[in-house]
Chain A
């Protein structure tokens, strides 16, 4: 086996068409960003799946830990006043 470094892992994001956001499609290995883009084209867009590709080296992504989902996301659950249905209005009021 080679004693040199292995190609790093990259995450691939593809915009399917203008008007839509880039969406995570998967990952791949490449020596540098340029090769990651070229490989992403061949691996993830062989059938016109995209009009734009982003690649980012996986090690640069900071992800939340699912074990902390309680602290992170539960506080939003008891804030029902952030939703329109929390407010009582007479039926006569239209378009609101």
Chain B
């Protein structure tokens, strides 16, 4: 194809997106659109998969059967969300094996929030309330993104995610209405998860390298700073209901903006964690790669069984 032809195709492509038309896997698309989508959708899928680990830590120690079935169902949903997203990503011409390889080798990133440890039961509450809360804010606009398979996966994910946040908030509520020690546990979890949750919505707009292009492709419909403000504004009143204090001395209602002003985020910490130096980066990858390797014989045995069954069937036909 000549340079001019590609330019025409690109112009037509951008116009389609501007008209709010959806792009489907077999449609022509600029290589950069394909690569950007593979990167973002796979990061999203990896986050769901690694996101199971911090919570899996507490399944066997959930304080009641009610909490245990809820946590199990939530973690199972995360596996499901990872699978929806991997299959959306594969429609762009990358294989599942390549995607796993990118995660396991450290080439692909996942959400930095999962590199923090879950040290008490209250962390299950804080994760559901704050981390899933931030994830919902991030994901709802993606239900309208331009790439059809991603948008469809996100519709399903968002429908399921609201139970996650409610179960987390209920855990916090129970602790906050419990003994002083239990309430203190809830406050401690909020103290540790608040700032990482704000960081989870991504670098500030002036530092974000992908925002402009992603907005054009509707891969992003609001900037990181807008999403963060929305998260803070909706979460602060929820903390008030719990009777907990947001660990930010600069947090203050701004009457003029009808929004909360908030303190400086420690971006050095964020970049440290992204670069692999968070408290749990190594641990998470070790658990993930270990599970994959220990499962290899099961995958191979299933494949061998399937082939044997097929051979048997073929013989019967003859």
Contacts and interface: CB of A to CB of B under 8 A. Distances in A.
B96 A29 contact: yes
A26 B27 CA distance: 18
A6 to B, nearest CB: 6
Given A2-B296, A6-B96, A32-B309, A66 B24 contact: yes
A28 interface: yes
A62 interface: no
A63 B26 contact: yes
Contacts of A31: 299, 302-303, 305-306
B303 A26 contact: no
Contacts of B309: 32
A27 B96 CA distance: 12
Interface stretch (A39-47, A74-82, A86-94): A39-47
B90 A9 contact: yes
Nearest to A5: B303
Say whether chain A's binding surface is mostly helix, strand, loop, or mixed: loop
Interface in A40-57: 42-43, 46-47
Interface stretch (B59-67, B76-84, B178-186, B258-266): B76-84
A59 to B, nearest CB: 13
B28 interface: yes
Pairs of residues from A and B, 3 with the lowest C-beta to C-beta distance, nearest first = A32-B306, A31-B302, A31-B306
A6 B97 contact: yes
A71 interface: no
Contact of A46 (B76, B153, B302): B76
A26 B84 contact: yes
Interface string A1-42: 110111101000000000000000011110110010000001
A4 to B, nearest CB: 5
Interface of A: 1-2, 4-7, 9, 26-29, 31-32, 35, 42-43, 46-47, 63, 65-67
Interface residues of B, number: 31
Contact of B80 (A1, A7, A46): A46
A92 to B, nearest CB: 42
B304 interface: yes
A4 B305 CA distance: 12
A28 B88 CA distance: 10
B204 interface: no
Nearest to B85: A26
B300 interface: yes
Contacts of B296: 2
Q: Taking each of A2, A27, A31, which has the highest tally of chain B beta carbons within 10 Å of its own beta carbon?
A: A31
B57 to A, nearest CB: 22
Contacts of A4: 300, 303-304
19 contacts: A1-B97, A1-B101, A2-B296, A5-B303, A6-B95, A6-B96, A6-B97, A7-B299, A9-B87, A26-B87, A26-B88, A27-B87, A31-B303, A31-B306, A32-B306, A43-B83, A43-B84, A46-B73, A46-B160
B120 interface: no
Interface string B74-111: 00110010011001101000011100010000000000
Interface in B299-316: 299-300, 302-307, 309-310
